[in-house]
Amino acid sequence: MQPNSKEEYKKIAVDILVDELPSLRAKIGISQDQLAEYVGLSRQTLSAIETRKRPISWQTFLSIVLYFTLNTKTNTTLKLLPGFIEALQKCFDYDESE
């Protein structure tokens, strides 16, 4: 079934990122403590997000995306996550062809 709203695309993008958080952190060798500090969370909150015990806010999601986008070791990885960029673009009605 094809998503048909920005909220559904947000959920897809969030789910993909949350699934990949541990491997993204590992790729650049940072701990939960370090990532949490960079994006303004406690380690406990980040851990709860990674284990899906707590939902991630849209603001936190965007902060984490920005952090990993600006890192040269993870920038390409984000772009290659199946469906991630497409879902993110749909959240903002962004069309590269324009």
Residue-wise pLDDT for 17-27, tens only, equals 999 999 999 99
**Interval 50-85: pLDDT, tens:** 999 999 999 999 999 999 999 999 999 999 999 999
How much is the average pLDDT of 30-50?
Answer: 97
C-alpha to C-alpha distance for 54 and 37, rounded to whole angstroms = 18
Which ranges in the chain belong to alpha helices (H)?
6-28, 32-39, 43-50, 58-70, 72-80, 84-91
Assessment of whether the complete model's pTM goes beyond 0.85: yes
